[in-house]
Each structure stands twice: as C-alpha cells, then as structure tokens.
Structure 1
C-alpha cells in the first residue's frame, strides 16, 4: 500500500466541489482511525483530487455530504472506496532487490533444510499490493527447492485493500512489468500457455504456495503460527510514529526466535521494538529476543 503524490489539482479542478478544512479533517480522522493512514494537511489537494471522482460517481454535490455518508452505519461500502482512492499500489517484481538477495543467500538454505526435515516454514508478505512481492518470494522458494509444494512451506500475502487482493489472486500483469523479472526466474514464474499480447500470467505452482487475504495491519491479526520472515515494505511510512512503534512490536511478537523482518528503504524501526532487533543487512533485521507472545501451532494463516 502506497500513497502517491501526483501533481496537485488545478484551481479549476478544486472549484468543482466545496472542500473545507473541516471536511478534510473529518476524512483524515476516519482514515487514521480505521486504516492507520496519517494524512498531513499538505495532502489536502491530493485528497481532493482522489475523492472528487467518488463524488461524481455518487452524484453528490459537496464533500460535506460525502463525509456524512462515510459516517453512516450503512455507507454502502464507501469506506472501501475511500481506501482504494487514497492508496496507490505502486510496486513491481523484485523491488528493492537486496531483500531478495538476502532471502536467497542467507535465509532460504536453512529454511529449506528445516522444511525437508518436517518443520513448518512461514513467510508473510504483509502489504502485498497486487501480489508481485509474494510471487517473487514463491519463485525463490521453488528455485531453491523444486519440491516445495510437497513440504510445509506457506506464504501469507495480505493487503488492506480488498480490490487489490482480487488482482493479486488473479496473478495477471501488464507485459511491461515482465522486464523486471530476472532471466533465471522467468521459466518458474511466467505461464507461457496463458496471457495475451498485453498481459502475462503467473504459474499456478506459485499460487499454490500462497494464501491471499485482506488484512488491516492496525486491527486484530487472526494468525497464530509464528513467521520465519516478514516483509513489510513501504506501508508503515504512512503511519504516525506511535502506530509505527506498535506495528514493529507486533511484528516482533509474530516472528520466530531469530526470525527476520524486512522493511522499506524509507522506513526505520522506532520505539521499544528497536531493542528487539539487530540490523543484519540493508533495512533487514533479525529478531534477537525471546518470543513476545505465545503463538499456537494450530492457527490458520488465512486472514
């Protein structure tokens, strides 16, 4: 989940609907309370440009009416439209390559060996966007262990946006994204029997390792089995410091002893969780303390 900053709307665009500071404050408060998104006042033009299209779709006359709709008990699912409008899922295959290099070279040999011995291996792509991150992880697992599908290796891929999760499950991407996939993984990842001139498809064998589901990182987590590796990249940057601090602590609780956390290049650990991790590579951290909470081995990884 990313919040992009496109050029601000022109004055003519902004004059289409009345959008007061109070309207912005109401939307910002809802986005923060429900999704953890922190909207500074400098984002007012961005919020206007993203939500004006919703007012047009709903045939509303002003933002005050839209805010009233959002606060109704039955808003017709408008909160999800708000979320999709405010967030832009910008990602690509093997983004921040150093994380995948570390996974391949430092972590997968031991994780595969453990899986072959009968242990469970769990990886969480916690802000998976349209799924590229999760499919890359699955490809690296299959490259390291061709029989991974027969072992207890699972990848959980979650995102707050239900619409983007639907796209992630489909595993269909524009052809121009194919160039980001290294040659060594193309045969594993791309199903050449599917797709068309404009799109390519992920292999079913990758999807068989992945469970996709909607999950709000600031809400309750239903998972009970600890994770060996957690990816959370370019999502926490849009939370305030207190929310970030709580999130890092919850990730520490959700990791196995000496499990690893990978975060975005613009993100930094903060709060008490800083003392629970050791930096081992670029924005890659190993948990150093004992398990923070007891996690059942009988949990269902699907949100």
Structure 2
C-alpha cells in the first residue's frame, strides 16, 4: 500500500526531485533513490517553509548560490541519518587494542603520536568508545600520545558529541563498572561522559566528498569509517575509499562496517584479519 500524500506538502515534480538529488549527490556523495522521495520531499518542504520560499525554483536558487552555504548545511543536518550507540560492533574495538595498536607501537618510539579518526562520528559514541577501549584494554596507552578525532557532516550531532550527554539507549551495551568509571548521572534519565574523555576527542565538521575538508587529515594511523559508504553509489564509494587511503599513513588501517565490502571498491588495501574482524591496511613505503 502506498503512503498517503500529506496535502500540506508542496508538490514536487519528478524533474525537481531529480535536480535536487543530483545536486545533493555532487556535494555529499549521498545518493537518494526514488524510494526516498517522500523522505526528501518532507525535508525540502520544511526548509522551504523556514526560508519562506515561494517555489522550488526560488529555494533551489538560494541553495545553489548562497555564499555562506548555510542552507545546504541545514539540509544536510535534516537528510543524514545518525543511528549509533556505545560499543557498537565492538569486535573491531577489541581488534584495535589487542592487535592493531600493538603492531603500530612496535614500529615507533615511545612518546610519539598515534592518530585515530572516526567518521562519521555522529553524536560521539564511536570516538568515545575508542577512547574507553584504549584506556581499559591497552596496557601501553600511557607510553604514546593518543590523538582521537571525530568528524561528521552534520553540525547538530557534533554539538551533541561535544556536550557528551546520552540517554539509556546509547549506553545499553555498557557494563555497570564502565558506566561508573566514565559517566555521571545528568538529570533524571541521562548520563554525561566524564570531562577527561570529552577533552580527549577533537571534533570537527568534515564532508568526505569535499577535498578541502579532508586534506588536513593526513598521516592517520587508524580510520574508522563504518556504515557510511552504504549510502553512496559505486563511483562515490571508490572516490571515498581513495580519499581515506590518502589520509592514512603508510601501514595505517581502515575499519569499515560489517556490510561494506572493500573488494567491490578498491584494490589499494591489503586485507588483514584480527580476531573476529577483517580490516584494511595501506601498504608500507617498502611495498609501494
């Protein structure tokens, strides 16, 4: 049964939806198929009302030519999905502390940086999970300068990540002792992550499809980019993986989501098994 049409919504022609979807794809790498038409229409209608645009043409002109890019950011915030929780797919975090970090540490002196990057980081659960796993699971953490970066295209979720306040659902996989160590009650139903962890992650806005955003991330040792590429088409996936490859240091590791297959995107990486997961390693200089 088809969804009922909301009579309050503006009526968009197929050509208008195609024009918008192509514009959004070029700017973000995210492709909306016709199955997402109603979702896109509702968000477009919301922004047209907020900007008092008389027609799609008026709104699209604003979207394309606004110098600040503020309206595009408003749409990005509405159209991106942010579903996460602490210790999601934690087998990769276990691989990080039991295999990846020890391997990286063997190749460098004590006191040198080890850089990790989480994108999209959403409201911060992933980079904070990385920090907790390193503190709890890697006995050499104090010997190195651990740098953790969290990035997302959505400015609203970045503000929530910096705030560090979470509901019960986000914490449902955490053991009671982990909660006690890293969280404090915040109001009646929420929890706030400790100041030390909030200060340990540097958050920033990054659009993976924009080279100007990603060029400052070079020499990363480990990149977590999980469950993002499923929203891209084949061409965007290949470009994104090549960008992540450039951001990694030689010998660095890329962790993808469990449903994302590197074999369909790039042959640049070497597959490595660590425990229950497979990650993807950039060759060292000697292997170039």
Give the alignment of 1:81-100 within 5 angstroms.
Answer: 81-100=74-93
* CA gap 1:203/1:243 in 2 versus in 1, 3 angstroms: same
Aligned counterparts of 1:92 and 1:224: Cα–Cα separation in 2: 25
Structure 2 unaligned runs (5+)?
none
Structure 1 unaligned runs (5+)?
1-6, 295-303
> Are the counterparts in 2 of residues 253 and 291 from structure 1 also a CA contact under 8 Å?
no
Of 4, 13, 22, the residue aligned with 1:10 is 4
1:299 is aligned to none
Cα distance per residue 1:42-84 (max 9 Å; x no partner): 2211211233222332333443332232123347711111111
> Are the counterparts in 1 of residues 215 and 247 from structure 2 also a CA contact under 8 Å?
no
How big is the alpha-carbon RMSD for the aligned residues of Structure 1 and Structure 2? 2.9
> Are the counterparts in 2 of residues 172 and 201 from structure 1 also a CA contact under 8 Å?
yes
Aligned counterparts of 1:94 and 1:14: Cα–Cα separation in 2: 42
The alignment status of 1:207 with 2:201, answered yes or no, reads no
> Are the counterparts in 1 of residues 152 and 207 from structure 2 also a CA contact under 8 Å?
yes
1:248 is aligned to 241
2:30 is aligned to 37
For this pair of structures, how many residues does the alignment match?
284
Moved more, 211-220 or 224-233: 224-233
* CA gap 1:184/1:256 in 2 versus in 1, 3 angstroms: farther
Of 286, 289, 298, the residue aligned with 2:280 is 286
* CA gap 1:81/1:36 in 2 versus in 1, 3 angstroms: same
Aligned counterparts of 1:200 and 1:66: Cα–Cα separation in 2: 40
2:116 is aligned to 123
Aligned counterparts of 2:128 and 2:3: Cα–Cα separation in 1: 36
Cα distance per residue 1:126-181 (max 9 Å; x no partner): 21011100000011112135885784110011111122111111111123322222
1:57 is aligned to 50
Aligned counterparts of 1:143 and 1:224: Cα–Cα separation in 2: 27
Aligned counterparts of 2:180 and 2:81: Cα–Cα separation in 1: 29
Of 242, 255, 259, the residue aligned with 2:252 is 259
Of 124, 129, 132, the residue aligned with 1:136 is 129
Find the residue that maps to 2:262 and give its secondary structure: coil
- State TM-score, norm by structure 1: 0.82
* CA gap 1:42/1:235 in 2 versus in 1, 3 angstroms: same
User: CA offset at residue 262 of structure 1?
Assistant: 1.0
Aligned counterparts of 2:161 and 2:238: Cα–Cα separation in 1: 28
Of 190, 214, 219, the residue aligned with 2:210 is 219
Aligned counterparts of 1:235 and 1:21: Cα–Cα separation in 2: 26
> Are the counterparts in 2 of residues 9 and 49 from structure 1 also a CA contact under 8 Å?
no
Find the residue that maps to 1:208 and give its secondary structure: helix
> Are the counterparts in 2 of residues 120 and 152 from structure 1 also a CA contact under 8 Å?
yes
